[in-house]
């Protein structure tokens, strides 16, 4: 007796489905173009802490993305974690059709510290984590950038939004 093989979706399609439901932090990662000073940014959930000694964070940026080259040339970035009231910041950075709305909200500020002068951040965000790129690892279509944390601005809020099931969400304790 022979079994009929059932066609499964491709490995990348199956992984994409699993990752869609895996909760992750979401942030607006910003930098600037050192040639003209213009801010650049992208919404991402591919971000994580690396270690505390030295304090460092990692982000994963698509090399074909509009912010990639400027971010690499600037050598620094800021991870802006958002609270629920700042969810309107995500769409302009996640949807290329809404690109003209990037950096238009009134709570955007430019960092004045010399190491990160020109990097934009969201005022009153739960966290604005300023990093200098120390390592770059290319894999597939993306670059993994490890940034050493140079500065951190916090609002004191622990209401940080994440991403799961294709939507913004809040983490809630099970117990």
pLDDT in tens, 14-63: 988 888 888 888 899 999 999 999 999 999 999 999 999 999 999 999 99
Q: Determine the structural domain holding residue 156 and report its residue range.
A: 14-169
User: Is 107 a domain residue?
Assistant: yes
CATH code where residue 146 lies: 2.30.110.10
Q: What percent of the chain has pLDDT over 70?
A: 97
In a domain, 162, yes or no: yes
Give the pTM: 0.89
Residue 73 has pLDDT above 90, yes or no: yes
Q: Does residue 70 register a pLDDT over 90?
A: yes
Domain count, the chain: 1
Q: Mind listing the pLDDT tens digit for each residue in 87-121?
A: 889 999 988 899 999 999 999 999 887 777 889 99
Residue 174 within a domain = no
Contact between 60 and 142 under an 8 Å Cβ cutoff? The reply is: yes
What are the residues whose beta carbons fall under 8 Å from the beta carbon of 99, sequence distance 6 or more?
A: 66, 92
Q: Is residue 2 part of a domain?
A: no
63 lies in some domain: yes
Within a domain: 100: yes
Mean pLDDT of 134-151: 97
4 within a domain of the structure (yes/no): no
């Amino acid at each position: 007796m022979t079994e009929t093989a059932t066609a499964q979706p491709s490995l990348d399609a199956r992984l994409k489905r699993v990752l869609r439901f895996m909760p992750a932090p979401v942030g607006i990662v910003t930098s600037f173009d050192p040639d003209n000073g213009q801010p650049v940014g992208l919404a991402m959930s591919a971000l994580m802490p690396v270690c505390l000694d030295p304090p460092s964070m990692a982000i994963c940026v698509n090399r074909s993305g509009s912010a990639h080259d400027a971010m690499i040339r600037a050598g620094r970035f800021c991870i802006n974690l958002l609270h629920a009231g700042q969810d309107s910041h995500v769409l302009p950075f996640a949807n290329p059709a809404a690109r003209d709305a990037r950096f238009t909200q009134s709570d955007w500020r430019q960092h004045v510290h010399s190491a990160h002068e020109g990097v934009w951040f969201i005022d009153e965000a739960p966290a604005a984590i300023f990093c200098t790129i120390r390592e770059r690892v290319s894999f597939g279509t993306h670059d993994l950038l490890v940034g050493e944390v140079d500065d951190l601005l916090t609002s004191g809020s622990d209401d940080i939004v994440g991403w799961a099931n294709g939507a913004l969400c809040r983490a809630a304790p099970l117990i």
